[in-house]
Amino acid sequence: MSHISIKRVHHTTLPEAKKLADKVAAKLSKEYELRSHWEDDVLHFDRSGVNGTLAVGPKDFHVEVKLGFLMAAFKGPLQQAMEKNLDSLIPAAETKAAAKKPAKKA
């Protein structure tokens, strides 16, 4: 069995981070037909030959994926898609967080 592990830091609230995780799940569902459901702060996803979790913490995301024998051939593209989706959403959250902070007085 092949394994993917991805960690990313975020600078947003836990509810906002869970919304970002939902966006990642929606993209992966569309591209790879992954089903998903929440259990507390952990998004579980699966399809034939793939199962994993996206744990949303107060400061980070942690993705763990197990690929079955046949899906192991797609490890590279799956990992790249997950990393790309996370990386494209996290800067947007950081920009929002920075915009909410009051400007420093000179």
**Predicted pLDDT at 30:** 85
pLDDT in tens, 65-83: 999 998 888 899 888 988 8
pTM: 0.76
Give φ, ψ of 65 to 5 degrees. Answer: -135, 135
Q: Domains of the chain by range and CATH?
A: 2-96 (3.30.310.50)
DSSP conformation class of 40: T
